[in-house]
Structure 1
């Protein structure tokens, strides 16, 4: 039985000498190589960016407001009814095209 080898990719960057020295010093202080330090720092930042962009945080008051709206939605107003008609017309118009899209 063989062991699976994880695919690895390479990342490279050219930086000013002063930046490189700062990264080397920080890596040394944490007991990591420069590559390990860069990957750990970049991964941490990437995860924070993804969470910030993909996660919606609500206060307890706003969460309760949202739940109430979902459980007791308001009756459609004139603007919503008009938007639905436009959507249905656009959907009918696109049925014959090769690029029709269904949500």
Structure 2
């Protein structure tokens, strides 16, 4: 099976519940005018969105946000030790340093 044909394929979700839970869900689905399957999918999708948003959102105070924005607006500070380590690495893997090269173009990236 190819990736394209599997992408459009529907997957089955299975859940087991006792009779009381099933009855409550079935009643709610009927009141909403949907099937139990559609009701469960809608509820699960809504909950998945809430969980994902909560897990990926950064909550902070206004003061912390302002401090972060101010720090991002500052010019980068010099990092001589990092520059030295990067230069040593480039020498070991034989990558010409564009700062010390005289009129030579650096090799194309990714080749």
**TM-score category of the 2 structures, normalised to the smaller one:** 0.5 to 0.7
Task: Give the unaligned 5+ runs of structure 1.
Answer: 76-80, 93-103
- Which of the two has higher C-alpha Rg? 2
Task: Tell me the alpha carbon deviations over residues 56-103 of structure 1, each in whole angstroms, 9 at most, x when there is no partner.
Answer: 133332211111122348x7xxxxx8xx8xxx7xxx8xxxxxxxxxxx
- Corresponding pairs, count: 79
Residues of 2 paired with 1:29 and 1:59: CA distance? 42
Q: Secondary structure at the match of 1:38?
A: helix
1:97 maps to none
1:49 Cα offset (Å) = 0.5
1:40 maps to 42
Equivalent positions of 1:5-84 (< 5 A) are 6-72=8-74
Residues of 1 paired with 2:26 and 2:64: CA distance? 46
CA RMSD of aligned residues (A): 2.9
Task: Give the unaligned 5+ runs of structure 2.
Answer: 90-111
TM-score for both structures, normalised by structure 2: 0.57
Residues of 2 paired with 1:21 and 1:13: CA distance? 14
